[in-house]
């Protein structure tokens, strides 16, 4: 009997894993990078910013699996430490737009009227400018650095989340349970954030994973242009920029950080697709 139960449990687990393979793969990739970021002081073989003129442009070898850069710094160590900054860019760059857009979209969709009209005109103004151009303009005004990047993302990136939530709120505010909540005399804030928002937010949560990919790529691009993370900090976009002058003679300087960006972005994408399947959300 116990053998039969064990066999059934194994079959059930295999079926669940097969149905959630995309989600599991995404979680595995993200988990690997999160582990790298947390354990960087313990697993990085060298100091990521220590320079050594005797080890300039050493190709991949046993001692330096990913080679060294033009300052003699170990590429593998810099990639491991860079995971901290790039994950921070992805998470913080999504968190603030998500929060701002969710609050504004909830208020606009619930109240409608003049509030919704003003809100939609504001969105139209922001969408009239190319996203990257508007973000670069804000960073140019504030000055280079991660803080400027986060502020620019918060000022520009909230639009997509607000539109998603607003659309859901326009439908849900006329539902039976919303009408019942109004009849019971609940406050607008309680109805919006305790009764409607939990039923409207699934699509935004799934979208945030796809948005994390764009934020990660934007962060790398900004750092590549010299407006994001500043040297000598280890960040993958900065590493790609530093290696572009040596692309024909020391290809490893740009290849490995570039692959890291692609793999992490792929992990976020898989996780978002898998989460959408679990939640029944289709983008």
Domains and CATH numbers, the chain: 31-45+63-279 (1.10.3720.10)
Predicted pLDDT of residue 13: 56
Residue 1 pLDDT? 46
Query: Residues 31, 34, 40, 44: is their CA dihedral positive or negative?
Result: positive
Residue 41, number of CB atoms within 10 A of its CB: 8
Q: Average pLDDT in the 223-240 region?
A: 88
Q: What is the pLDDT of residues 104-123, one digit of tens each?
A: 999 999 998 899 999 989 99
CA angle at 134 for the pair 145 and 282, rounded to the nearest 5°: 100
Question: What local confidence, expressed as pLDDT, does residue 7 receive?
Answer: 47
272 preceded by cis ω (within 30°)?
Answer: no
Helix (H, G, I), strand (E, B) or coil at 282: coil
Average pLDDT over every residue of 232-238 = 89
Region 260-269: what's the mean pLDDT? 94
Q: What is the pLDDT of residues 241-260, one digit of tens each?
A: 888 889 888 999 999 999 99
Is 23's pLDDT higher than 80?
A: yes
pLDDT at 48 over 60: yes
Coil/strand/helix, residue 68: strand
The whole-angstrom separation of Cα 105 and Cα 162 is 4
Task: Assess whether pLDDT exceeds 70 at residue 177.
Answer: yes
pLDDT at 6 over 70: no
Q: Reduce the DSSP state of residue 74 to 3 states and report it.
A: strand
- Angle, helices 113-127/75-111, rounded to nearest 10 degrees: 150
Tens digit of pLDDT for each residue in 192-225?
A: 998 899 888 988 998 999 899 999 989 888 888 8
pTM of the shown model? 0.86
Average pLDDT, the chain: 88
């Amino acid at each position: 009997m116990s053998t039969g139960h064990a066999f059934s449990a194994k079959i059930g687990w295999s079926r669940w894993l097969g149905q959630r393979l995309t989600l599991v793969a995404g979680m595995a990739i993200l988990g690997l990078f999160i582990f790298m970021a947390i354990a960087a002081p313990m697993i990085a073989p060298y100091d990521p910013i220590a320079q050594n003129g005797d080890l300039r442009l050493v190709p991949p070898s046993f001692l330096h699996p990913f080679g060294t850069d033009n300052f003699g710094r170990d590429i593998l160590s810099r990639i491991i430490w860079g995971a901290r900054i790039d994950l921070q860019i992805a998470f913080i760059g999504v968190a603030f737009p998500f929060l701002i857009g969710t609050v504004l979209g909830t208020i606009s969709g619930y109240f409608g009227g003049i509030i919704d009209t003003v809100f939609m005109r504001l969105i139209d103004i922001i969408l009239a400018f190319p996203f990257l151009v508007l973000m670069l303009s804000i960073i140019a005004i504030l000055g280079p650095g991660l803080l400027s990047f986060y502020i620019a993302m918060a000022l520009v990136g909230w639009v997509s989340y607000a539109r998603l939530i607003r659309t859901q709120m326009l439908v849900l505010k006329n539902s039976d349970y919303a009408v019942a909540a109004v009849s019971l005399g609940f406050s607008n804030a309680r109805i919006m954030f305790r009764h409607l928002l939990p039923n409207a937010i699934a699509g935004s949560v799934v979208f945030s994973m796809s948005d994390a990919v764009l934020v990660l790529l934007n962060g790398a691009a900004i750092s590549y242009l010299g407006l994001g993370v500043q040297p000598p900090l280890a960040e993958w976009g900065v590493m790609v920029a530093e290696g572009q002058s040596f692309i024909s003679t020391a290809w490893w300087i740009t290849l490995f950080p570039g692959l890291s960006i692609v793999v992490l972005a792929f992990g976020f994408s898989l996780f978002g697709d898998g989460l959408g399947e679990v939640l029944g959300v289709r983008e």
